[in-house]
Chains A and B, each alone.
Chain A
Amino acid sequence: MNPQPRPLYWIGLSIFGLVIATYVLFPIFWLFLASFKTTGELASLPLTFWPVAPTIEAYTALFDTTSQSSQILNWPRLISNSFLVSVSSTLIVLVFGTLAGYAFSRIQFPGRDLILGGLLISRMFQGAALLLPTYRLMNNLGLQDSLLGLTLLYSAFGLPFATWIIASSLREIPFELEESAMMDGASRLQCMVKIVLPLATPALITAAMWHFVGAWSEFAFASILMESSDSKTVTIGLASFVELFTIEFNRVGAAASLVAMPIMLVFFFGQRYFTRGLLAGAVKG
């Protein structure tokens, strides 16, 4: 390895990264800015970049329950639905993923590594291939158009990968720590709660973030399963919103910004763990 810093290389790489980031983020940023403009400003020429007279009118309109549009799309409802489904399926995935991950990392049983590898294989299938069978299945179970059904579905989809991430990281925690705790008087459960889980926090946060973001932004399954307006989630709301209010870009921008907000917050606070947790799994897979 060359111990000397190579400034040109890093400057070049940074410029390249900036260009890519601008290319990707510019439309999103523009939409974000648009959410603070009036419909008039958006329609007038020449186009403005920064809002001339910034207003949160578009946001208040989203939450105006008396307006005609909220009869069709009830944003507070959409948001609370999405939160309910994402948060509860994240909790389910964390609880069961931790228990399963602990078993995979600590208990010898026949076919253990095969099954653990199989968990990853399950991620190789395109979700779209499962749309129809899932729809039939949920219908037969009477779980279509139900938030409970969607929560269970997301949990089932998220569990394998979460288990894999958690198991990989638990494998790196020496078993001697638990043996030591057992000698110190801890039960198996106390070992897990007091020793293993605190040490596995980065992996747990990673798994939780990964799942929350996935559940929050899931569209395909929600769109075929959730029919009534009371049970829809933000991604469906956003899609139909674009269809209904194409002309009112400020409102579309406001809705999109709102929907993106939780994901940005999750990454803002958790990205430190996110890379660490994924890397921990990557080194020892």
Chain B
Amino acid sequence: MGSVTLRNIRKSYGPVEVLHGIDLDVADGEFVVLVGPSGCGKSTLLRSLAGLETISAGDISIDDKVINGLEPKNRDIAMVFQNYALYPHMKVRENMAFSLKLNKVPKDEIESKVAKAAEILSLTAMLDRYPKQLSGGQRQRVAMGRAIVRDPKVFLFDEPLSNLDAKLRVQMRSEIKELHQRLGTTIVYVTHDQIEAMTMADKIVVMKDGHVEQIGAPLDLYDTPANLFVAGFIGSPSMNFMSCTAQGGKAVLSNGQVLGAAPAGLGEGQAFTAGVRPEHFVIGSGALDAPVTLVEPTGAEIQFTVDIAGDHVLITTRDRVTARLGDTLNLSVEPGKLHAFDPETGARLGGV
């Protein structure tokens, strides 16, 4: 069991408030990813949950028990650190057994737990090595093993993959996800990489400047971003934004061209920021003519950068479109895929 509830969490360093009242519910067994640009407070929030930082206000509960004042060791939480924080003077076996030894678990029980965790993580052959003799991925696994043996209520991961190379990162990503499915323990995971968040999470919490911008399932965030920030942050390549006015149910660009149908609920003449994901443009079937300024084939798709009303707009297509630099693309937006945001507040407008 391990449900986590955060209520109005605030954290200040002197006069500077870095968390401005965070509310979050994590169900037992859920995989929640906190994501946001650096400095958004996601690591601070995680460390507050771990008990490594004190909070200025609010309540942190695990299984409905408030744990605000508890020492880290009394919270029944395990944490995997960004640089793994393996004890360099201990062998893998001792690293993994450390917490059990501190908690005076009987020796044979420690051995069986370590052996089991090592087997899950394919570390059995490494048990008598020192951390410095391991590769980055292996160290990462030892750090996870150290967490697993404790069988805690909640696992915390603080950017655990950022020190690995791209290929290993993808591999460890699926390993962590499989581990979660196997153990079923609640996980709170911090990353700045939205792809990690999208691929791993049951629920994503997008943070910015100490505020929660949106909480939701990965595809919900992708399909219905609550504001400009989430729209731009989630998705790679990211969403294109253009200034538009609603006229007769159409989204009209600043140069008078029609981008597409405006979402319902916008007032006539209302100015808004239109957002369209690169893959939601249809090439060759629209009223919008846009000159190509850059062509980038990636293999699976081709990325075109086009000029729409003075904005650089990125378009991706899986079709083998042969347009070249200087050609003009004929574009339209897939029905229902045009997002509207308030240019002032960034909040989502209309319904899609």
CB distance from B136 to the nearest CB of A (A): 16
CB distance from B146 to the nearest CB of A (A): 7
| Contact assessment for A185 and B85 in the assembled complex, using a CB-CB cutoff below 8 Å | no
CB distance from B141 to the nearest CB of A (A): 15
| Contact assessment for A177 and B85 in the assembled complex, using a CB-CB cutoff below 8 Å | yes
CB distance from A261 to the nearest CB of B (A): 32
Q: Which residue of A lies closest to B77 (CB)?
A: A183
* B73 contacts the other chain (CB 8 A): yes
Cβ-neighbour of B50 out of A174, A181, A183, A198 (below 8 A): A183
B250-264 interface mask toward A, CB cutoff 8 Å, 1 = contact, 0 = none? 000000000000000
Q: Tell me the bound Cα distance from A181 to B94 in angstroms.
A: 12
Contacting residues, chain B, for A195 (C-beta < 8 A):
87
- Which of B98-106, B194-202, B205-213, B344-352 is the contact stretch? B98-106
Q: Which residue of A lies closest to B82 (CB)?
A: A176
| Contact assessment for A177 and B72 in the assembled complex, using a CB-CB cutoff below 8 Å | no
Contacting residues, chain B, for A183 (C-beta < 8 A):
50, 52, 72-73, 77-79, 99
Q: A179-B52, A180-B79 are in contact. Are A186 and B73 (CB under 8 A)?
A: yes
Cβ-neighbour of B87 out of A181, A182, A185, A190 (below 8 A): A181
CB distance from A108 to the nearest CB of B (A): 11
B78-94 interface mask toward A, CB cutoff 8 Å, 1 = contact, 0 = none? 11011101011100000
| Contact assessment for A199 and B89 in the assembled complex, using a CB-CB cutoff below 8 Å | yes
CB distance from A241 to the nearest CB of B (A): 46
* B311 contacts the other chain (CB 8 A): no
| Contact assessment for B87 and A176 in the assembled complex, using a CB-CB cutoff below 8 Å | no
Q: Which residue of A lies closest to B97 (CB)?
A: A184
Cβ-neighbour of A184 out of B51, B52, B73 (below 8 A): B73
Main secondary structure of the interface of A (DSSP, over half): helix
Contacting residues, chain A, for B146 (C-beta < 8 A):
180, 184
* A246 contacts the other chain (CB 8 A): no
Q: A185-B102, A199-B88 are in contact. Are A180 and B81 (CB under 8 A)?
A: yes
Q: Tell me the bound Cα distance from A177 to B98 in angstroms.
A: 12
Q: Which residue of B lies closest to A176 (CB)?
A: B85
| Contact assessment for B89 and A184 in the assembled complex, using a CB-CB cutoff below 8 Å | no
* A65 contacts the other chain (CB 8 A): no
Q: Which residue of B lies closest to A188 (CB)?
A: B71
Q: Tell me the bound Cα distance from A186 to B150 in angstroms.
A: 13
* A187 contacts the other chain (CB 8 A): yes
Contacting residues, chain B, for A190 (C-beta < 8 A):
102
CB distance from B72 to the nearest CB of A (A): 5
Q: Tell me the bound Cα distance from A91 to B57 in angstroms.
A: 45
CB distance from A280 to the nearest CB of B (A): 14
- Enumerate A232-247 residues with CB–CB distance to B below 8 Å: none
| Contact assessment for A187 and B73 in the assembled complex, using a CB-CB cutoff below 8 Å | yes
Q: Tell me the bound Cα distance from A180 to B78 in angstroms.
A: 9
| Contact assessment for A184 and B99 in the assembled complex, using a CB-CB cutoff below 8 Å | yes
Q: Which residue of B lies closest to A187 (CB)?
A: B73
Q: Tell me the bound Cα distance from A185 to B81 in angstroms.
A: 15
Q: Tell me the bound Cα distance from A166 to B83 in angstroms.
A: 24
Q: Tell me the bound Cα distance from A202 to B150 in angstroms.
A: 32
Q: Which residue of A lies closest to B79 (CB)?
A: A183
Q: Which residue of B lies closest to A190 (CB)?
A: B102
- Enumerate B219-253 residues with CB–CB distance to A below 8 Å: none
| Contact assessment for B81 and A179 in the assembled complex, using a CB-CB cutoff below 8 Å | yes
Q: Which residue of A lies closest to B83 (CB)?
A: A176
- Enumerate A164-219 residues with CB–CB distance to B below 8 Å: 174, 176-177, 179-187, 190, 194-195, 198-199
Contacting residues, chain A, for B81 (C-beta < 8 A):
176, 179-180
| Contact assessment for B102 and A174 in the assembled complex, using a CB-CB cutoff below 8 Å | no
| Contact assessment for B102 and A182 in the assembled complex, using a CB-CB cutoff below 8 Å | no
CB distance from B171 to the nearest CB of A (A): 23
Q: A176-B83, A179-B85, A199-B88 are in contact. Are A184 and B98 (CB under 8 A)?
A: yes
Cβ-neighbour of B89 out of A182, A186, A198 (below 8 A): A198
Q: Tell me the bound Cα distance from A10 to B161 in angstroms.
A: 46
Q: Which residue of A lies closest to B52 (CB)?
A: A179
Cβ-neighbour of A185 out of B50, B52, B83, B99 (below 8 A): B99
Cβ-neighbour of B73 out of A174, A177, A185, A198 (below 8 A): A185
CB distance from A173 to the nearest CB of B (A): 9
The residue in B52, B82, B85, B146 that gathers the most chain A C-beta atoms within 10 A of its C-beta is B85
Q: Which residue of A lies closest to B81 (CB)?
A: A176
CB distance from B83 to the nearest CB of A (A): 6
- Enumerate A74-92 residues with CB–CB distance to B below 8 Å: none
10 contacts between A and B (CB under 8 A): A176-B81, A177-B88, A180-B79, A182-B72, A182-B73, A185-B99, A186-B102, A198-B89, A199-B88, A199-B89
Which A-B residue pairs are the 8 nearest by beta carbons? A184-B99, A180-B85, A185-B73, A176-B85, A185-B102, A182-B72, A183-B79, A198-B89
- Please report B residues at the A interface, Cβ cutoff 8 Å: 50-52, 71-73, 77-79, 81-83, 85, 87-89, 98-99, 102-103, 146, 150
Known: A179-B85, A183-B99, A184-B78. 18 other contacts (CB 8 A): A176-B81, A177-B87, A179-B52, A179-B81, A180-B85, A181-B98, A182-B71, A184-B73, A184-B102, A184-B146, A185-B73, A185-B99, A185-B102, A185-B103, A186-B73, A190-B102, A195-B87, A198-B89
